[in-house]
């Protein structure tokens, strides 16, 4: 059975060792250890070596790189080595730096599809946290500029004392099914032939199941009972910071009525067609790559007996 631990970006997490986040003496000593593992982020992009299959790992010499913006303690690996992500200032250039020639800052989606499970999780976590820092520099209570605290996992306003924590937005990503068919949709901005499961953010005051049913009706006009929702697995998604919750939902109606602001089109396909889509043999549909949770939702349903 597929679980969240099998989903890219969610699998092979390290020990976050959160108790060290409030110990500045330990954190400074950890950055100077010979076994410290440090990787760099720049404008939301991880520094990846020229093979494209690994982050560029630095040791204590990373502290000599300037200018730096934030440093996040991510945890300890299986042998107890501390791992940090450093966010470089927008002015930073690899050319002429101490690490020139080691790799390049790579698109996160491209990097995540090639990195190992652990490295994908680390880069995803770092991107989510650092993008939160970038967009939440000012206190939402009084407007003053806040400061990084607890090894990057918190911001504190020096003016009013308010504490701010990284946010994760839950998203229901659902495959509506009826008998031997499932529903796929596409947006007008997607490449030709690309179709996926429907999705939408969970609103205040509703459950994941209710959000899935609401979004299904709003986007495609398909009615369903939230009580029929089947939870599969979830995936942290760092664009900018969501938790994608995979659900299969039993549809009560079949007639599609697309909300053009959300989707360009929606269509039912059979289980056999879904298997063709996953195999890359369908004549006019291709689905999200294995890095995306939508791929695995479709795969779980397609592999079931009718």
Backbone phi, then psi, for 173, in 5-degree steps? -120, 115
Question: What is the C-alpha to C-alpha distance for residues 176 and 188, in angstroms, rounded to an integer?
Answer: 20
- Over the stretch 270-291, which tens digit does the pLDDT of each residue have? 999 999 999 999 999 999 999 9
Q: pTM above the 0.75 mark?
A: yes
Question: What is the C-alpha to C-alpha distance for residues 293 and 216, in angstroms, rounded to an integer?
Answer: 17
- Over the stretch 44-88, which tens digit does the pLDDT of each residue have? 999 999 999 999 999 999 999 988 899 999 999 999 999 999 999
Q: Which tokens in the block code for residue 253?
A: 């109606």
CA proximity to 207, closest of 242, 170, 235: 170
Q: Do 258 and 272 lie in a common domain?
A: yes
Q: Do 219 and 150 lie in a common domain?
A: no
- Over the stretch 4-29, which tens digit does the pLDDT of each residue have? 999 999 988 899 999 999 999 999 99
Which among 135, 157, 179 is the end of a domain?
135
Q: Do 31 and 149 lie in a common domain?
A: no
What's the confidence (pLDDT) of residue 279? 97
**Domain encompassing residue 149:** 137-167
What's the confidence (pLDDT) of residue 259? 79
Contact 182, 209 (CB under 8 A): no
Q: Which tokens in the block code for residue 26?
A: 């330990």
Q: Do 70 and 143 lie in a common domain?
A: no
Q: Do 193 and 223 lie in a common domain?
A: yes
What's the confidence (pLDDT) of residue 246? 98
| CATH number of the domain where residue 103 is located | 3.90.79
Q: What are the helix (H) ranges across 115-258?
A: 117-135, 208-220
What's the confidence (pLDDT) of residue 181? 98
Question: What is the C-alpha to C-alpha distance for residues 286 and 264, in angstroms, rounded to an integer?
Answer: 16
Q: Do 178 and 297 lie in a common domain?
A: yes
CA proximity to 111, closest of 293, 291, 297: 291
CA proximity to 42, closest of 20, 13, 68, 3: 68
Q: Do 112 and 182 lie in a common domain?
A: no
Q: Do 102 and 210 lie in a common domain?
A: no
Which among 135, 158, 187 is the end of a domain?
135
Q: Do 203 and 271 lie in a common domain?
A: yes
- Over the stretch 184-240, which tens digit does the pLDDT of each residue have? 999 999 999 999 999 999 999 999 999 999 999 999 999 999 999 999 999 999 999
Question: What is the C-alpha to C-alpha distance for residues 279 and 136, in angstroms, rounded to an integer?
Answer: 42
Q: Do 92 and 177 lie in a common domain?
A: no
| CATH number of the domain where residue 269 is located | 3.90.79.10
Which among 113, 135, 157 is the end of a domain?
135
């Amino acid at each position: 059975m597929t679980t969240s631990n099998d989903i890219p970006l969610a699998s092979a997490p390290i020990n976050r060792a959160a108790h060290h986040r409030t110990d500045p003496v330990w954190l400074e000593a950890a950055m100077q250890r010979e076994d410290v593992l440090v990787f760099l982020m720049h404008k939301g992009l991880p520094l990846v070596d020229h093979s494209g299959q690994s982050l560029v790992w630095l040791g204590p010499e990373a502290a000599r790189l300037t200018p730096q913006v934030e440093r996040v303690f991510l945890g300890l690996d299986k042998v107890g080595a501390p791992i940090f992500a450093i966010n470089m200032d927008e002015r930073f250039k690899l050319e002429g730096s101490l690490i020139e020639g080691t790799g390049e800052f790579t698109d996160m989606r491209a990097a995540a599809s090639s990195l190992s499970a652990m490295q994908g999780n680390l880069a995803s976590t770092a991107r989510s946290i650092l993008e939160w820092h970038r967009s939440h520099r000012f206190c939402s209570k009084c407007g003053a500029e806040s400061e990084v605290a607890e090894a990057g996992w918190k911001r504190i306003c020096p003016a009013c004392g308010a504490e701010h924590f990284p946010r994760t937005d839950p998203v229901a990503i659902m495959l509506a099914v009826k008998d031997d068919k499932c529903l796929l949709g596409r947006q007008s901005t997607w490449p030709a032939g690309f179709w996926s499961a429907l999705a939408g953010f969970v609103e205040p005051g509703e459950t994941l199941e209710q959000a899935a049913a609401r979004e299904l009706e709003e986007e495609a006009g398909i009615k369903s009972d939230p009580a029929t929702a089947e939870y599969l697995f979830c995936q942290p998604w760092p664009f900018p910071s969501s938790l994608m919750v995979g659900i299969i939902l039993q549809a009560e109606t079949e007639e599609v009525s697309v909300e053009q602001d959300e989707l360009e089109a929606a269509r039912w396909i059979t289980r056999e067609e879904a298997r063709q889509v996953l195999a890359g043999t369908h004549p006019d549909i291709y689905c999200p790559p294995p890095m995306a949770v939508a791929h695995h939702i479709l795969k779980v349903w397609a592999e079931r007996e009718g």
